[in-house]
Amino acid sequence: MIKTLQLKNQDEILLALGTQDRKLRALEKIFKVVVFVKYDEDGAGALLSVKGTNSRVDKALAKIQKDLADGSVRKPLDLVKDTRPFADNIIFRPERTKPVEARSENQKKYIESVFSHDLILASGPAGTGKTFLACACALRALELGMVDRIVVTRPIVEAGEKLGFLPGDIEEKVDPYLRPIYDAFYSMLGIEKFNALKYNRTLEIVPLAYMRGRTLEKAFIILDEAQNTLPAQMKMFLTRLGVGSKMIVNGDLSQIDLPAHQPSGFAQAREVLSKTKEIAFVEFTGEDVVRHPLVKNVIAAYEKWEKKASKESK
């Protein structure tokens, strides 16, 4: 049988689920039930459904209701301050690997911006975790019921967005270009769960050229390598945002692969939207690089060389 309980606000959600859903998982294990959480459209409350035998469902619900009653009388300090889905820097907890968490102040700002804004434009050098963090935030939002699906896209400049001449079906054509995104999800989900999400269309990874004409509602949308979009492509993408959706745009202006004299849609969007208060802007630097320590030195050396070359050319 299935019984439901309406959680009215974020405080009740946290009291029922616990930090990073720990109380919920413990409840399932103790009472041998399955618990589903569906967040309200406005994100304020949630509908909690408990599935199992009659007696176990009743006992599990009684435990949750007791926690809610106790919590309304005595709000522990940790519950008062821990009301965000992304608490203690932890974004997502994979089953087999260590938790994904912020490793720099800018990464922490990035995560917090994802929760507090519907549109985020993030820029910075390679190795700062933009793609990986975006995928982790998307999985967490899906886990919390904030969205129903994840859509990840990127422009495929190397193939000129004209994929017809390449062998195989669409997935085989674009697979090499989307590999960094696949790798991020593989590491957090494992191949089996990743394939399951793709199979039921909960997770969709597509080239930017295939986004035209769509309106994406209740979705977590990620545009990676945005520096390689043209202005018209960027405008097209930004207008795909539907009701209940979140959108992250990641780019690195030091790695533009567009043909000469072609303007970057990402650079233009940052300028056009700079005064729009509802949009969050996050700037990563070489200090946020989380790859091999030598990568920071490589980036710094290139930046120094480029500045010198720019001065000499004037």
pLDDT digits (tens, 9 = 90+) for 124-172: 888 888 999 999 999 988 887 888 899 999 887 644 445 544 455 555 6
- The pLDDT value recorded for residue 80 is 33
Q: What secondary structure letter does DSSP report for 277?
A: T
Task: Output the pLDDT for position 300.
Answer: 75
The helix or strand, by DSSP H or E, that contains position 282, with its residue range, turns out to be strand 279-283
Euclidean distance between CA atoms 167 and 66, whole angstroms: 60
Q: What is the pLDDT of residue 42?
A: 64
112 contact partners, CB below 8 Å, separation of at least 6: 84, 86
Helix (H) or strand (E) holding 223: strand 219-223
Token reading at 145: 């019921």
- Alpha-carbon span 265 to 194, nearest angstrom: 31
Give the domains, in start order, of the chain with CATH numbers: 2-81 (3.30.1370.10), 90-313 (3.40.50.300)
